[in-house]
Structure 1
Amino acid sequence: MELKEKISNLPTSPGVYLYKNKNGKVIYVGKAVNLRNRVRSYFQTGKHFDAKTVALVKNIEDLEFIVTDTEAEALILEDTLIKRYKPKYNVMLRDDKTYPYIRITNEEYPRIYSTRKVVRDGSKYFGPYADVKSMKRIIKLVRTIFRLRSCKLKLNDESIKQGKFKVCLDYQIKKCDGPCEGLISKEQYLESVRNAISLINGKTSQIEKQLLQSMQKYAEELKFEQAAYYRNQYLLLKDYTEQQKVVTAELIDRDVFGFAEAEGMACVLVFNIREGKLIGKRHFLMRNTVGSTNSDILQAGIEKLYLETEFIPDEILLPFQLEEDKFIREYLKSRKGKVVEISIPKLGDKKKLVNLANENAHFQLQEHLLTMMKKDAELPKRVLEVQKDLSLSKPPRRIECFDNSHIQGSDYVSSVVVFKDCKPNKSEYRKFKIKTVEQNDDFAAMREAVFRRYRRLLDENKELPDLIIIDGGKGQLNEAVSVLKELGIYEKVQVISIAKRLEEIFKPEQSDSIILPRSSATLQLIQQIRDEAHRFAITYHRKLRAKRTISTELLNIDGVGEITANKLLNEFGSVKEIKNKTLEELTSVVGKKVAQKIYDYFHKE
């Protein structure tokens, strides 16, 4: 959706808005009592702005917003998002919705790194993280403070004892304690891993205390270098924890679901709150929801989320009761190891969070519907050109083209290719092995292909094309028209044919052909579609002919029937390979007697 359209469709509710540059990077986060008025004010002509605001507006290419109930909520959320994204024009980046995890491996000497692939091998996973920059910072902080190894060596007590490995550069620059040479005990290393897990979970007070104690201890012993090291680690950790602002006083892991439904579609949205902080949101758009209850749709969204994600929160807030929640409750319990509280709040702050999620689900759905409406309303220029040049009654958004292929009536095949908005849709291509034509009869073959194609579409209640192109002249066109009338769809579709020699275009019930200039974009599109149908048909024809040729040659051998021929081809791949096989190799597949006949056939002097 265009930026101007997004602005005009903004709600008048309070909330937070995020401006993005052309690269999708968040460059400014702001709050507003009225989102629409506030955002519009940035783009008013004639209004005087300071230099920073002028530079900001020049770089705005897109925006996102989150609706809140009150200005106070918008203030808290704005502060959290500024700390998370550090936008350039706020003082302070980027929203990454691929949701990576932090992984701590299940090894004797565990490693820590980011991953988007969850492998259930006993490793611990933390996340998913909506902010990749923040996640990378956590990993860097953990490695810096606790000096966990980054190498891929398969460390265990035995390999270390045998002295198989040597320390690397990380040890020399004090980023690793050298477990590969036993320079740190296993117990000490695992204690560092446990502290790393505490830091990732936001439990930093005990770690801060340990670092302070170490700093003071070394200072008292006049070991100032070691004391300075622990001081720096402490300051790093302190700086990190001071930037963790909460959106709720309850330091709890919570998922808050919102729901919206309109025009046969629905949106299920979830706010991810971790340790009291809103780390992101995710939504699912559900299609073809007519006839389904809201409970069924919401449950489908919840199941999809928790089947895909590794992290299970302590609490889930829903906008309404699920009709059948036993399965999801049991599933969550088995994943979490304890009961996950699922509630439908009626009052208070929790109810406000659910209302907020509902509002965002509603606006997410409306934005999608507006985008779809705009897409449907905007016809590609080439489609309109084809409609005009061929004098068609409606735009040919879906075009199907038929072509035949054969050699003197043998291996007769037809193809149909499908183009949508002037682009090939190869998943809908179809080919036909002509069954009713015994000789070289292009008209009858076209008749059969067209009949089979549209008989099936009608039986399966599938979409009919806006325009049918027949490769051929008036004769092939008349056969196609006859079939369309027989099926009762002649008035519902448009049909033309194109003759190769002069590239003439024929329309039903018109004696004169249409001759477009060679430079015409419409003619070039029709030729492209016709050539694609020809390519698809001739490829299928060659495949059938090759198969028939191979089968015929093997079947010429006395004692070789279809079953034996297929057995040989499955084993050796081709007739050429069969020719090159020894008698013993052939015997292992078909027996000595038949193998001797095959060998003699291909090795005649």
Structure 2
Amino acid sequence: MVVKRVDDLPDKIGVYILKDEKGNILYIGKSISLRKRVRSYFQPTDNPKIKTMKKHIDHIEYILTDTEREALILESNLIKRYKPPYNIHLKDDKRYPYLKITNEEYPRITITRRITSDGAYLGPLTSTFAAKKMIKFLKSLFKIRDCKRMDGPCLNNQMGLCYSPCTGNISRDEYMQMIRRVELFFQGQYKDILEELEEEMENAASNLEFEKAATIRDQIISLKEVMGKEHTIFTKGIEKDIITGRFDNKAIIMILHIKDGKIIGKDDFTMDNTNKENPERILSAFIQQYYSTPHQIPEEIITEHDIDQRGLLEEWLSNLKGVKVKIRKPTGRSDLKLLKAAVKGIQTLSKEKVENHKILAELKRQLKLPNHPKRIEGYDISNIGGEAPVGAMVTFIDGKPAKGLYRRYKIRARGPDDYAMIREIIKRRYSNDGTKADLIIVDGGRGQLNLTLRVLESLNVKIPVIGIAKRDEKIYTASSMNPIKLPKDSKVLHLIQHVRDEAHRFAIEYHRKLRNKNFKASQLDKIKGIGPKRKISLLRRFKGMEAIKSASIEELSQVDGINRKLAEKIHKHFHKPQGGHN
């Protein structure tokens, strides 16, 4: 509904949307009385943000809800979607890895850093390594498929690592039961899964389905091992989040994640539009926006300030988690000690942010950049004689690496042509609309700089670009024919070098990974006499290529289907002299 006058708003629960004459959203809020809340904006005030916003309000939209909790959820979703200029905003430049359950007939589990509407998400996890470790375990325990195309039984099925829905070995209902158990496992609901599996095993045994019963038995054993390892952690104490902040024009919020009385992780965020806002309101907005994305909700949230709408937020969080969640101020020595650590951390963080801002401001001045270089992207390529060519992009936000925004590219251009490779990755990065960098750094001199500028110009993209040569560390810009030579102790130079070196490291790491992957995938296939069955037997026995490569002839000959002569051939293949690489 749309109204022009405040008096036309209903005295009911809902969400209000303030708009200007062009229909642009200025502010989104909620209230148990829409009329009273919106009327308060037109009362005399010293708040400069409200004074400015009032001048632009043309009309008001509203949406009624049945409960205040429904209004809170709707308000949170609308703020995330539209990011109104006068709302307090949580700025999260980090992207953590999540496990994604794909929205397919037979879902897969993948790792992603992008939250979209085409699947379910579990997480976040602390690192890509932790995500890979978790996904490997979940796939082995629940035998979820990982193939992109269901085009027949694969090696995973033959090794007993997949139920193989592509062959009809499992119905969709049975498969979706496995997916549900994955979600329960991630929530720590081990006992529920265990009860289901034990009942399923007994039914399979009663029906003389002994192979199925044996598979479920192995799942039960693996699950009990996990429960044994986790028992001490889950029984010693509840999970807590400690939240504190520094409240200036842009508030800095720090959150410590506590488990078993120990700090297991921390995050920091910036909140925009917080000038003249009190800490209680800022922290309330932070809690609402932070926990509305897929973050683990603790049983207790501890803050040094009172929180606006504490009861409503507790009700909302408790409903999301499924158990009671409490928001409170610190009590006791343990809480105070953790809060002290958080306050100390945010003081250090504030100093770092101030120092980084000074360096970026100096970078802008020395390079004559049109905008403050909040987002810097660095590019590099890696290949050996054209083999496994790759490109890499790293992103720095506010002078710090934002690894969730890094990107890798498999180069499609043929031949060892560095210029063609750079042209390709820049074009692929900026062919589609997306967040643009304030500065691009390429590894190289005048040639790489001019090439990058031409590619951007062809795409009608205007972004400042610099090149930095490794040999003499001179900086090349489009605005000067002469390169810039900064002092060796210059913090601006150190930042540029950091971006350049990080792009180089990331590109080399990906190149080596692809080369190793290609090598491992092809080695057994190159040995005459090793077909699919013997390949599976070897992999089952030795659990991987590294163990096969280091196995003795005697160990190899003990594998089913591998005689002495073939064992010698395998051993010789992996121990013949190898040519070196530059």
Interval of TM-score (by shorter of Structure 1 and Structure 2): 0.3 to 0.5
- Whichever of the two has the greater Rg, that structure is 1
Identify which of structures 1 and 2 has the higher relative contact order when contacts are C-alpha pairs closer than 8 Å and 6+ apart: 2
